[in-house]
Amino acid sequence: MKTCLTPPLSAPACFAGIVSLAGMLFVSTLTIAHADDTPVASTADARDKSPTDVEPAYQPKSKSELRRSLNRMQYDVTQNEATEPAFRNKYWDNKKEGTYHCIVCEQELFDSKTKFKSGTGWPSFYQPKDEKVVGFRNDWRLIYTRVEVHCSRCGAHLGHVFDDGPEPTGKRYCMNSASLNFVEADKSAKNKPAPNKPADSVSAGQDAKQD
Ligand SMILES: [Zn+2]
């Protein structure tokens, strides 16, 4: 019964100790947790996780919120699967280095390093930032089937993916600029080591690839 002499243990713990050691530990833990009167388990869990492990819960926006925060083209494309005009959109010829985020929920979708000149007039990438950030559905609206691409977090329509892209994936993610928000690299990652070449020439390799 030496465990019952341990100062922090309370009466319920002593009683449980008679039954079994495991039972005592369980009950005393409960007793201490109750005495603290705070959600111990959840705060401890949150503390143990690094910020990158804690996925912020996405709160879907209502249609009226979306209408306020998006312009008409952005709303029609992301919510009604409309397609913006080729060559008359924001990013089809954007060669700056950075990341493309979902216009609705800001999830990171594409890296400029995977952008290539497709000649279609829409921003085109050979792969998403991570395979988990996009979802797919068959789109039967044309006489041939296309694979629709949407944001995995908020469901915003982004564009379509085709099998005629360049190496290394052979995929062409044909996106609508209206679905995307571009964040330039030097503005989003100031603490990264400086590249060996001047920032202005970062798209040189991309130019070669695109032209
Ligand atoms: Zn999204």
State the distance from the centre of ligand 1 to the C-alpha of 184, rounded, in angstroms.
19
Tokens of 137: 């559905």
Q: Is 4 a catalytic residue?
A: no
Spell out a b/e string for 24-46, using b for 16 or more CB atoms within 10 Å of the CB, else e: beebbeebeeeeeeeeeeeeeee
pLDDT of residue 10: 45
pLDDT of residue 17: 43
* % of the chain at pLDDT higher than 70: 62
Mean pLDDT of 63-82: 97
Beta bridge partners, 139, equal: 146
State the distance from the centre of ligand 1 to the C-alpha of 151, rounded, in angstroms.
5
Predicted TM-score (pTM) of the model is 0.64
Q: Is the peptide bond before 168 cis (omega within 30 degrees of 0)?
A: yes
Q: Which CATH number fits domain 63-185: 2.170.150.20, 3.40.50.10490, 3.40.50.10800, 3.40.50.12780?
A: 2.170.150.20
State the distance from the centre of ligand 1 to the C-alpha of 201, rounded, in angstroms.
31
Sign of CA dihedral 12, 18, 23, 26: positive
Q: Residue 64 above 80 pLDDT?
A: yes
User: What is the distance between the terminal CA atoms of the chain, rounded to a whole angstrom?
Assistant: 81
- What single DSSP character describes residue 176? -
- Largest interatomic CA distance in the chain: 81
Q: What is the pLDDT of residues 113-136, one digit of tens each?
A: 999 999 999 999 999 999 999 999
Query: For the chain, what are the domain ranges?
Result: 63-185
Calculate the CA 158 to chain-centre distance.
14
State the distance from the centre of ligand 1 to the C-alpha of 146, rounded, in angstroms.
21
Measure the CA–CA gap between 203 and 112, rounded to whole angstroms: 9
Give the number of C-alpha atoms closer than 13 A to the C-alpha of residue 37, restricted to the C-beta side: 1
Measure the CA–CA gap between 122 and 149, rounded to whole angstroms: 14
102, 105, 151, 174: which one is catalytic?
174
DSSP letter string, 101-123:
EETTT--EEEEGGGEE--SSSS-
Q: Is the distance from CB of 78 to CB of 86 less than 8 angstroms? A: no
Give the number of C-alpha atoms closer than 13 A to the C-alpha of residue 167, restricted to the C-beta side: 1
